[in-house]
């Protein structure tokens, strides 16, 4: 019996597990010969990129719905250590600690929000890094009408970090806050502030998209602040480094991501975000029997571009890691991953969205046209099959790179007419 262990069940881990099961099925290898075990602290897969949305229930997929039909075992627990010499993974489960042995490992523990040691941030700040964190924010916002926070800051939300996550959340908040206030006949002002330490909002998106983002923020009534530094957070709001105080009952931190810290157990090369370096087969450089995928892995996709922390790259990385971990284990040829296109589709709430293509982020659609494409991605394209059909689930993990999301020419013509 050989054992493949996948740690983490985000986009990289889930698709690695399905991809490995698909390859074993293709080769006619049963579970009595090679087993696949997924280790994750949750019993669900989270469509994490939707955590900025109001309706979170449809973002959760029970792992049993996807893994059980394809014969993949799930161990619920938090990974606490990786012994590459002994080829074991230490896990803290609800019933105590245990160790899982592997012949091949897929490291897919993902990324996490970078939380600086700002006084009061841990106690008073919110985030949407996980489903649980997003639910906590949702519950906090729903309770604002009954909160003791008085004055203009009651329905004020300060979003710190104007990257993609911060922009998408800020775009949704005016409507959510207004609905909450109206349901309780409140009269306090609704105010959403999107702030960043950089000189511009959405600076990573390029000049064309930044102009669209500015237009959307103005239309939505989202205030923007740039060049700011938060010195402290308390129950009443924040204090900036220059001494200015911004009253806000809600402070949401969206500034910066890093790879899971458990990467320190892998004695290999890492990038500045803590991601482990992998070769074109998703095998960790320097470890012959360890593969990696998703936000925890640093892969060269098309010289000179490397993978980014996104489901756009995490899903194909997982499919190829799953295929190749089985191929490597059984002495079959592996397949190299190459992705020669790049897109970014940023949700801008009720205003619409902006769709860019290429690493230079050229805008090809905005408004309702881009929004339709974004919803197709978020609500359909990135989901595994939920039918329970074994063949359908396995087929979804074929080691292929999907084409970029389509924008219908008719929509483009009407938009530019």
Query: In whole numbers, what is the pLDDT of the chain averaged over residues?
Result: 95
6 and 44 share one domain = yes
89 and 163 share one domain = no
198 and 293 share one domain = no
Helix (H) or strand (E) segment spanning residue 74: strand 73-76
CA dist., res. 384 & res. 232, Å (int): 41
Q: Does 416 score more than 90 pLDDT?
A: no
Q: Is 408 domain-assigned?
A: no
Q: Is 166 domain-assigned?
A: yes
Rounded mean pLDDT of 390-412?
84
28 and 67 share one domain = yes
Q: Is 355 domain-assigned?
A: no
Q: How many domains are contained in the chain? A: 2
Instruction: Give how far the C-alpha of residue 52 lies from the chain's centroid of Cα atoms, to the nearest Å.
Output: 11
- The DSSP annotation for 99-122 comes to EEE-SEEEE---EEE-----TTHH
> What are phi and psi for residue 210, nearest 5 degrees?
-60, -40
Residue 33 belongs to domain spanning: 2-112+258-340
pLDDT digits (tens, 9 = 90+) for 36-56: 999 999 999 999 999 999 999
CA angle, corner 38, sides to 33 and 43, nearest 5?
A: 140
29 and 42 share one domain = yes
Q: Which two tokens stand for residue 275?
A: 């991601």
139 and 74 share one domain = no
Q: Does 400 score more than 60 pLDDT?
A: yes
Q: Is 335 domain-assigned?
A: yes
> What are phi and psi for residue 95, nearest 5 degrees?
-105, 5
> Are 94 and 105 a contacting pair, CB within 8 Å?
no
Strand order from edge to edge, sheet including 245-247 = 230-234, 237-240, 245-247
pLDDT at 208: 96
Q: Is 356 domain-assigned?
A: no
pLDDT digits (tens, 9 = 90+) for 359-388: 999 999 999 999 999 999 999 999 999 999
CA dist., res. 75 & res. 99, Å (int): 11
205 and 234 share one domain = yes
159 and 181 share one domain = yes
Q: Does 413 score more than 50 pLDDT?
A: no
Q: What percentage of residues in the chain have a pLDDT greater than 90?
A: 94
Best mean pLDDT range from 184-188, 241-245, 301-305: 241-245
pLDDT digits (tens, 9 = 90+) for 269-286: 999 999 999 999 999 999
CA dist., res. 102 & res. 289, Å (int): 9
Q: How sure is the predictor about 408, in pLDDT bands with cuts at 50, 70 and 90? A: low
- Mapping DSSP to helix (H, G, I), strand (E, B) and coil, where does residue 307 land? coil
CA dist., res. 186 & res. 145, Å (int): 7
Q: Is 385 domain-assigned?
A: no
For the whole prediction, is pTM greater than 0.75?
yes
133 and 220 share one domain = yes
pLDDT at 289: 97
Q: Does 321 score more than 70 pLDDT?
A: yes
Domain boundary among 223, 254, 285: 254
Domain boundary among 340, 373, 395: 340
Domain boundary among 302, 322, 340: 340
Q: How sure is the predictor about 147, in pLDDT bands with cuts at 50, 70 and 90? A: confident
pLDDT at 284: 98
Beta-bridged to residue 251, according to DSSP, are: 158
Rounded mean pLDDT of 112-126?
97
> Are 251 and 126 a contacting pair, CB within 8 Å?
yes
Q: Is 392 domain-assigned?
A: no
290 and 200 share one domain = no
Helix, strand, coil share of the chain (percent; to 5): 35, 30, 35
CA dist., res. 72 & res. 9, Å (int): 12
Q: How sure is the predictor about 150, in pLDDT bands with cuts at 50, 70 and 90? A: low
6 and 89 share one domain = yes
Q: What is the CATH number of the domain that holds 165?
A: 3.50.50.60
| 341 closest CA partner among 291, 285, 402 | 402
Q: Which two tokens stand for residue 61?
A: 């997929």
78 and 174 share one domain = no
Residue burial 227-243, b: 16+ Cβ < 10 Å; e: rest: ebebbebeebbbbeeee
Q: Is 194 domain-assigned?
A: yes
Q: Does 67 score more than 90 pLDDT?
A: yes
């Amino acid at each position: 019996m050989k054992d493949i262990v996948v740690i983490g069940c985000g986009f990289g881990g889930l698709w690695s597990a399905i991809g490995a099961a698909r390859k074993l099925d293709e080769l006619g290898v049963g579970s009595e010969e090679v087993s696949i075990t997924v280790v994750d602290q949750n019993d669900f897969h989270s469509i994490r990129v939707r955590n900025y949305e109001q309706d979170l229930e449809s973002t959760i997929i029970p792992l049993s719905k996807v893994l059980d039909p394809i014969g993949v075992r799930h161990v619920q627990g938090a990974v606490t250590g990786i012994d590459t010499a002994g080829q074991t993974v230490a896990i803290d489960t609800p019933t105590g600690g245990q160790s899982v042995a592997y012949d091949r490992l897929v490291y897919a523990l993902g990324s996490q929000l970078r939380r600086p040691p700002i006084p009061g941030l841990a106690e008073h700040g919110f985030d949407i890094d996980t489903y649980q964190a997003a639910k906590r924010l949702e519950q906090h916002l729903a309770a604002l009408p009954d909160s003791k926070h008085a004055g203009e800051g009651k329905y004020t939300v300060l979003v710190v970090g104007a990257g993609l996550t911060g922009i998408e959340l800020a775009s949704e908040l005016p409507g959510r806050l207004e609905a909450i206030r109206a349901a309780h006949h409140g009269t306090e002002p609704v105010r959403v502030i999107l702030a960043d330490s950089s000189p511009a909002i959405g600076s990573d998106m390029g000049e064309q998209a930044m102009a669209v983002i500015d237009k959307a923020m103005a239309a939505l009534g989202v205030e923007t602040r740039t060049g700011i530094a938060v010195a402290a957070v308390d129950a009443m709001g924040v204090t900036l480094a220059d001494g200015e105080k911004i009253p806000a009952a809600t402070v949401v931190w969206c500034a910066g991501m890093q790879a899971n810290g458990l990467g320190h157990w892998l004695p290999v090369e890492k990038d500045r975000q803590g991601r482990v370096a992998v070769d074109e087969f998703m095998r960790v450089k320097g470890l012959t029997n360890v593969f990696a995928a998703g936000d925890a892995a640093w892969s060269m996709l098309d010289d000179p571009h490397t993978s980014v922390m996104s489901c756009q790259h995490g899903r194909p990385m997982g499919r190829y890691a799953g295929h190749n971990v089985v191929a490597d284990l059984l002495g079959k040829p592996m397949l190299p991953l190459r992705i020669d296109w790049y897109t970014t589709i940023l949700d801008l709430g009720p205003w619409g969205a902006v769709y860019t293509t290429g690493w230079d982020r050229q805008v090809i659609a905005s408004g309702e046209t881009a929004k339709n494409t974004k919803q197709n991605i978020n609500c359909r394209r990135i989901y595994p099959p939920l039918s329970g059909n074994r063949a359908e689930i396995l087929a979804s993990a074929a080691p292929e790179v999907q084409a970029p999301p389509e924008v219908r020419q008719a929509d483009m013509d009407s938009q530019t007419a």
